[in-house]
Amino acid sequence: MFKQKLIVAASAIALSSILSAITAMADDIQVLPEVRVTGGGTDFSAPGSLRDEIIKTESITPQDIEHANATNVLQALDNRPGIAVQVECSVCNVRTINLNNMPGRFATLLIDGIPLYSSTVSFYGLDSTNVLGVERIDVSRGAATSLIAPEALSGTVNIITKRPDKKEYVFTPEIGNFGSYGGNAYLATPLEGGAVAFSMDYRKHDTVDGVGMGISQYTGYERATGGLAYFLDDIGGFKIHGRVDLVDEDRGGGPLGNDYGTIRASLTGNPQPFNFSAGPHGSPDPNGWVAPDGVSGPDTLSNGENGVLYNGGLAGISQIITTQRGQGTMIGERKVGEGTLRLAAGAAYHYQDSFYGADGIYVADQKQYYLESSYKAPFGSAIVTFGANYRFEDLKSHGFSFQTNPGLDETGRTPTNGVDNYLYSVPGVFLEVYHAFLNDRLEVNGSVRYDQHNVFGGITSPRLNVLYHHTDALSSRFAIGQGFRAPTSFFEQEHGILQDTIIVRQITKAETSDNISYALNYASDRFSWTGSANYTRIRNFALLSPGQCDPADAACVAGVATGGDVAPSPGFGTATLFTSASDPVQFRTVDWVGTYQVTPSTALSLGLEKDTYTFTPGILNFSRPNERVYLSSDYVFGGWDLFAKLTWTGRQDLKQFYDYVDNQQYNLDGTPKPDESPSFSVVDVRAQYRLNKRFAFFAGVNNLFDYQQAKHDSFLWVDSTGALDVTHIWGPIIGRYVYAGLRLEL
C-alpha cells in the first residue's frame, strides 16, 4: 500500500518536472476557436440556474465546489435540492448519491460522458472520486437523461474535465480537527497542439466517536488519488481528450484508531472497551445490551436483565476496507462530411479488500470496459445522431463468512467464493433526432436505444424531450422516458449475503423505469429560479433476501413449511434469494430553487423540496426525508468570499422505511426506536480571503451547531432477539468540523 502511495507521489514529482519542461517550450501557444459555447453558464452559476440544454441540467461549478470545501464528488454534490448523499453504514460510511431520493444504484456517474462506475465503485469509490481540475459537474435528474447510459434510472452525474487554457500550478494544503489533514496539487499547462493537467490529492482523517461509546460514527481513512488529463488537437484528424485516474484508500471504522492489524487480531472480550451504556437509550450494562424479547439473549446483564454481553473483541464491530482503482478514458472527435464522428473508450479496474469483523472477509475484483462510436450530422432541418456502444462488466469475489464458521480464527474458516459474481456484456445501438421549430422557440429531441443484455435479453428504451422558450427569460422543459438497469448481486447492497454460502438467482427481469418530468426556468439579470416536478416508477425492483432456504435444500424448506426448528434463524440461513419485488416503487419530487442578487456583492439562494414515496415497507433499506429546505448566502467583496448555508431536513418515517411491523428496531436498553426522526438543521460557513493573485487563505466550519444523530438516537440497534446492527441512520454522522488552509498559485 505504502509502496503504491510512493509511486503516486513519485509520479507527481516526475510529471511536474515534465510539465515545467514542456511549458518552457510551449509558452503562450493557443488555438483560438471562433466562439465558446457557454451552455448558459460556465464557471459561474447559482442554485436555480440551468444549462442551456434541452435536458434539464444543473451545473455544480468550481465556485460551488470551493464553497463546499469539497475534495470529492460526494462532498461537492451533497445538500442540494433533489441531490443528497446517503450514508448506508455507520462504521464503514458507505455513501451513495441519491438523485430525487432514489437509491444510489440508480444514479450513474460519468467521467467526461463515459460510464465507468458500477457496483463496487458506487459504494466505496465515490469518496475517492476527486474534483480537482473539473470545469463543472453536470447533474441531470430523471430517467433517460443520457443516451448512452440507460441504467441511470434516477439520473446522471457527469464530471467534466477542464481543459487548461493557461499555465496553472496550484497547491492547497489544509488542516482540520478530528486529526484531519491533507492537500492537493494541480499542475496544468497548454501545449502546442493540446494541453495536459495533473492532479493529486492526499487526505487523512481519524475515526470519530461523538458520544463516548468507543465505537465510531465516522470512519477514519487515508486516501491518495492522482489523475492525468490530456488534450490532443490533431491525431489523424481527431481531436482527442481523456484522463487516467488512480485511487488508493484504506478506511476503518468501529474501533477507534487505525491500527488495523491489532483490530483484526482482537477476536474476544470487550477490550477497547466499548461502552454500550453511552449515548441516548444506552444499555444498563456497559458491556452488553438488552434482548428486547426478554428471553433470547444468552447472558444476564449486570442489572439482572436478559441480554447479550459483548465478546467480539475489537474485530467484532469493525469494518476495514482497502480500495484500489485505476481507470482511463479516451474520447476522439473529427469532422466527417457534414457531421462529427465520435469514438470513445474507457476501462476500469477496481479492487476491494474488506474485513467485516463480525460477518466475514470479502475480496472483489471488478473489470469494466466501454466502447462507443457515433455520428452526428444535419439531416434536412433536423440533427441526427446514431451509433453503437458496448459495455462489459465482470465482478469476481472470494471470502468467507464468520457466522457460518463460528469459533475459528480467520485462517480456519471455510471459503465462500464467488457467491455474488456476475458478468454482464451489453451491446447496444441508439438513434436520436433533434429538431427546432417556431424560429427556435420550440426544440424537440426524440431518441431510442436497444440493448441486448447477455442475461436479461433485449430491452428498448425510448425518451422524448421538449424545450419551449416562452420568452427570453422563461422556458419550460418536459421529458418522458424509460430506462433499464441490470440488477447486480454485489453484496454491499445486502451485507447479510456474507453469512450465506449461495445466492439463488430467481430474478428474470431487469429493473425498468417510467419517468416523466417538467421544469419551469426563469433567468433574468438579478433573479433566476427553477421549479420542477419529477415522477419515477421502478418496476421489477431488485431484492436480495439473505438468511433464506435454498429451494434445493429439502430439509430447510420442509422446516419452513412446518414451522419447525429446521428453518434457519434470520441472518443465519444458507442462501440469499435474488428476486424482484412484485409491486413497483414510486418516487415523486417537487422542488423550487432560486437565487436573487440582493446587493451588488451579496446573493441569496433558497431551495424547497418535497418528496413522497410509494413502496413496500423495508424495501428501500434506508430512511429518506419528505421535506428539505436550503438557504444560502454568498458575499463577495474586496478579496473576501463569505459563504453560509443552512440545510433543514424534515421528519423521516422510520417505521415505514425500516419496516418496524416486520422488524422492529430497538435501542440498546430494549426500548423501541422512534417511529419518526426529528427534523434538524445543519449550518456550514466558510470564509476565504484573497490576499493577492497568488495567495488566498480560507477557513470554515461544517455543522456549526454540532448536530449529530448519535446524540439523539444511536446508529446501533438490536432486533427483538438482541442481534446487533449498525444501520439505523437518518442524520449527520459527524459533528462540528473546523478547517483552515491556503491556496497557493505559482
Partner 1 sequence: MELELPTLDGQRFFRLSDEQGRLVVVNFWDTECPPCVHEMPLLDKIARSHPDAIFVGVTVSDRNRAQNFLEEHAVGYLQLLGPHDPKGVLRRFGDPSTALPHTAIVRRDHSLCATHTGEVSLDWVNAALSRCRSD
Task: Confirm or reject binding of residue 63 to partner 1 (CB under 8 A).
Answer: yes
- Distance between CA 145 and CA 481 in Å, rounded? 9
Query: Which of 42, 296, 580, 664 is close enough to bind partner 1 by CB under 8 A?
Result: 42
Query: Which of 5, 39, 271, 418 is close enough to bind partner 1 by CB under 8 A?
Result: 39
Query: Which of 10, 14, 27, 165 is close enough to bind partner 1 by CB under 8 A?
Result: 165
CB of 129 to partner 1, least distance (A): 23
Question: DSSP code of 259?
Answer: -
Query: Which of 440, 458, 563, 746 is close enough to bind partner 1 by CB under 8 A?
Result: 440
Type and span of the H or E element at 300: strand 299-300
Per CB under 8 A, the segment of 28-36, 74-82, 447-455, 618-626 that binds partner 1 is: 28-36
Burial class (CB in 10 A: 0-12, 13-18, 19+), 449: buried
- Distance between CA 158 and CA 141 in Å, rounded? 11
Type and span of the H or E element at 200: strand 194-205
DSSP string, 17-30: HHHHHHHHHSTT--
8 A C-beta contact, residue 483 and residue 141 = no
Among residue numbers 468 through 497, which ones bind partner 1 (CB under 8 A)?
469, 472-473
Task: Confirm or reject binding of residue 524 to partner 1 (CB under 8 A).
Answer: yes
Task: Confirm or reject binding of residue 438 to partner 1 (CB under 8 A).
Answer: no
- Distance between CA 181 and CA 176 in Å, rounded? 6
Query: Which of 28, 33, 563, 564 is close enough to bind partner 1 by CB under 8 A?
Result: 33
Type and span of the H or E element at 4: helix 2-25
CA atoms within 13 A on the CB side of 620: 29
- Distance between CA 352 and CA 398 in Å, rounded? 11
Task: Confirm or reject binding of residue 27 to partner 1 (CB under 8 A).
Answer: no
C-alpha closest to that of 708 among 330, 212, 196, 367: 212
Task: Confirm or reject binding of residue 712 to partner 1 (CB under 8 A).
Answer: no
Pick the closer one to partner 1 by CB: 386 or 522. Answer: 522
Pick the closer one to partner 1 by CB: 67 or 223. Answer: 67
Pick the closer one to partner 1 by CB: 383 or 388. Answer: 383
Pick the closer one to partner 1 by CB: 58 or 249. Answer: 58
Pick the closer one to partner 1 by CB: 33 or 563. Answer: 33
Query: Which of 75, 327, 595, 702 is close enough to bind partner 1 by CB under 8 A?
Result: 595
C-alpha closest to that of 48 among 12, 96, 82: 82
Query: Which of 351, 375, 386, 522 is close enough to bind partner 1 by CB under 8 A?
Result: 522
Peptide bond into 273 cis (omega under 30): yes
Task: Confirm or reject binding of residue 34 to partner 1 (CB under 8 A).
Answer: yes
Pick the closer one to partner 1 by CB: 438 or 555. Answer: 438
Task: Confirm or reject binding of residue 637 to partner 1 (CB under 8 A).
Answer: yes
Residue 698 DSSP SS3: strand
8 A C-beta contact, residue 122 and residue 325 = no
Pick the closer one to partner 1 by CB: 66 or 393. Answer: 66
CB of 240 to partner 1, least distance (A): 19
Task: Confirm or reject binding of residue 32 to partner 1 (CB under 8 A).
Answer: yes
CB of 70 to partner 1, least distance (A): 16
Among residue numbers 333 through 352, which ones bind partner 1 (CB under 8 A)?
none
- Count other C-beta atoms under 10 Å from residue 356's C-beta: 23
Q: Which three cell numbers stand for residue 126?
A: 465515490
Name 692's Cβ contacts closer than 8 Å, sequence gap at least 6. Answer: none
Q: Which three cell numbers stand for residue 379?
A: 439531416
Task: Confirm or reject binding of residue 36 to partner 1 (CB under 8 A).
Answer: yes
Question: DSSP code of 693?
Answer: S
Pick the closer one to partner 1 by CB: 349 or 640. Answer: 640
Task: Confirm or reject binding of residue 690 to partner 1 (CB under 8 A).
Answer: yes
3-state secondary structure 661-704: HHHCCECCCCCECCCECCCEEEEEEEEEEECCCCEEEEEEEECC
Among residue numbers 639 through 658, which ones bind partner 1 (CB under 8 A)?
641
Which residues are near partner 1 by CB under 8 A? 30-46, 48-50, 52, 61-63, 165, 440, 469, 472-473, 521-526, 528, 595, 597, 599-601, 603, 636-638, 641, 690, 693
